[in-house]
Structure 1
């Protein structure tokens, strides 16, 4: 063997030795789990399960969903972000992720101590009222709250949760007041609005529009910047009476800090294909949910912007964390 060939072989062996274990194993070489920091049955759980099966098909490994609810999603979130950064534990988050930093001591930086992978979905929070409330549109509802400050009630999925924050955001911009009635989850909150025990609530289209279609609730407006394609007759909050109000409901995927950039890029590439898959969108579009996609950098920028915006809402409305 010539000196030149021996040098090339030695260099090649050195490169092989320097390759990280994930490259040697051919990531992924075993099942991947997606942590959902909420109980089964909610919007975050739905999104994680819809996308996980298709991701598993593309990666050639099972992708399972593990629910770890508790403490306004902070328990499951902390567990996932502190897991080994090897690409085998991922986290699906929702809007509560950008509210919690203003309410809880997290023990990690929600922007810089994670590896954002992708924004999975975007949809709208729809404002609904019980049909017995004497209002046909948002202007009527705001006028009613001005005449009866603090008398009307709104439900949310929990004290200090995202639904309380987005509601208080609208109330603050409109300079009206309503009484907050927190529940342990979206399901019980919806049930009491249906029963007329509570007057109104913001919630995901996938949770509420079925009752609007059945005539059991009245949809007033949607919080997105533009009208939703699935509900073109439903005005936005901004155009219906509260200029400047824009709230997009979304889900996204994170990995623990230190996950190799090659794994993040691989997952981002596959997830972009998944969220734009025709079969997936046929399943989520009727719920008023769209696949989002984009780069990790775009998702990190969204997290930063949303955390800053909702911190201001929490301060202005004096919102406190739940027990």
Structure 2
């Protein structure tokens, strides 16, 4: 009887010394889904699909892209939040991830619900104006705006997005007033600028590169901290004394924050390899985007900085801040 008890005790005790298998060792053992909050064929969709192909090659499992556009990216975000926190559902995030936090009363998620696994790239905004004498430089344009304060219109995309926040920040720092006119997309906003319905529109640099041959439009300043490689002769707003006019349309991949740490690390390591590849750098250049200089931790810090800016400006506009 004692021998039997000893044998059982030994067997139970030995179980405690079995090697612990990390979840990441077997991950992934089935396909991974990347949810994209934009329609198929958009530049952001093409960028994500290129990254998904790279992740698939490294991780050895299919990485499937699923498009779920709508409601300022919140439909896709909430779909990712409802999925299991196991690393098999990844969300492609953009500035819309943050703008929905203040543009919607109940977006259904918080910043703390997700962690970054890596940046895909970014594009700053660039202020465009008609090629007139008053817009030969940002200085002359500001003089014109001040002398016509309250009389002019500027194009924005929607009524609560980053364009409105940039417009608000520029008005405050430069000391003038104009009226935000919402448009449903970059093309109609550009047409309004060409028609003279508005005096300015801040397009993404990736969009503006397609307009470089348009001699009726002139670029004035970019909203990044450093000059854009696609418009190296155009100054930043900060260079001209307006440091608060700062925003990027950034894109990256995130997962639920309660995803196991070892799986998050595996995804971050894989993303770093993908984004350092020549293929992805070429994809970014072809799309008019720039690579993010930093790891997932630095990218997460940048996201939080943007969120603080958006929340501050949204509060000034009396928009809901969650």
Normalising by the smaller structure, the TM-score range is: 0.7 to 0.9
Counterpart in the other structure of 1:265: 265
Counterpart in the other structure of 2:253: 253
Aligned-pair CA distance for 1:43: 4.5
Counterpart in the other structure of 2:88: 88
**What per-residue deviation string (whole Å, max 9, x for no partner) do you get for residues 66-105 of structure 1?**
2212221112211112211121111111122222222322
Counterpart in the other structure of 2:222: 222
Decide whether the 8 Å contact of 2:162 with 2:310 is kept in 1: no
Aligned-pair CA distance for 1:216: 4.5
Decide whether the 8 Å contact of 1:132 with 1:196 is kept in 2: no
Residue 47 (str. 1) matches residue 52 (str. 2): no
Aligned-pair CA distance for 1:241: 4.8
TM-score normalised by structure 1 residue count: 0.86
Counterpart in the other structure of 2:278: 278
Counterpart in the other structure of 2:79: 79
Residue 198 (str. 1) matches residue 198 (str. 2): yes
SS at match of 1:108: coil
Distance 1:274 1:239 in 2: 33
Pairing 1:1-323 to 2, within 5 Å after superposition: 10-11=15-16, 13=18, 15=20, 20=23, 23=25, 26-104=26-104, 105-110=106-111, 112-131=112-131, 134-285=134-285, 287-292=287-292, 294-319=294-319
In structure 2, the CA distance between the partners of 1:33 and 1:132, relative to structure 1 (3 Å rule), is: farther
Aligned-pair CA distance for 1:6: 6.0
Q: Please report the RMSD computed on the Cα atoms of aligned residues, expressed in angstroms.
A: 2.8
Aligned-pair CA distance for 1:320: 7.2
Distance 1:154 1:304 in 2: 28
Aligned-pair CA distance for 1:269: 0.7
Decide whether the 8 Å contact of 1:212 with 1:219 is kept in 2: no
In structure 2, the CA distance between the partners of 1:187 and 1:57, relative to structure 1 (3 Å rule), is: farther
**What per-residue deviation string (whole Å, max 9, x for no partner) do you get for residues 94-134 of structure 1?**
12222222232223321x22222122223311111233584
Decide whether the 8 Å contact of 2:43 with 2:287 is kept in 1: no
Distance 2:163 2:45 in 1: 17
Aligned-pair CA distance for 1:207: 0.8
Return 5+ residue gaps in structure 1 as ranges: none
SS at match of 1:299: helix
Aligned-pair CA distance for 1:268: 0.7
Aligned-pair CA distance for 1:205: 0.9
Q: How many residues align?
A: 314
Decide whether the 8 Å contact of 1:125 with 1:222 is kept in 2: yes
In structure 2, the CA distance between the partners of 1:42 and 1:192, relative to structure 1 (3 Å rule), is: farther
In structure 2, the CA distance between the partners of 1:89 and 1:293, relative to structure 1 (3 Å rule), is: farther
Distance 2:318 2:215 in 1: 35
Decide whether the 8 Å contact of 1:43 with 1:206 is kept in 2: no
Aligned-pair CA distance for 1:300: 3.1
Return 5+ residue gaps in structure 2 as ranges: 1-6
TM-score normalised by structure 2 residue count: 0.86
